[in-house]
Amino acid sequence: MDLGSDNPCQETFENNSSYNNKSIQSVQDFFYDEPDLPWQPLPEHDLQESPCYPIIERKGELYYCKIHQYMESPYLEVIEHHCKYKEPEHHKAEIIRLIQEKDILNGNN
pLDDT digits (tens, 9 = 90+) for 10-46: 443 444 454 555 789 999 999 998 888 999 999 999 9
Q: How much is the pLDDT for 4?
A: 45
- Which domain covers residue 94, as residue numbers? 8-105
Inside any domain, residue 1: no
Inside any domain, residue 97: yes
Inside any domain, residue 3: no
Query: For the chain, what's the residue count?
Result: 109
> How confident is the model over 55-107, as pLDDT tens digits?
999 999 999 999 999 999 999 999 999 999 999 999 999 999 999 998 888 88
Q: How much is the pLDDT for 19?
A: 52
pTM greater than 0.85 (yes/no) = no
Inside any domain, residue 72: yes
Question: Cβ of 23: how many Cβ atoms within 10 Å?
Answer: 21
Number of domains in the chain: 1
Inside any domain, residue 47: yes
Contact (CB, 8 A) for 65 and 83: yes
Q: How much is the pLDDT for 9?
A: 44
Q: Does the pLDDT value for residue 7 go beyond 50?
A: no
Provide φ and ψ at 31, rounded to 5°: -85, -5
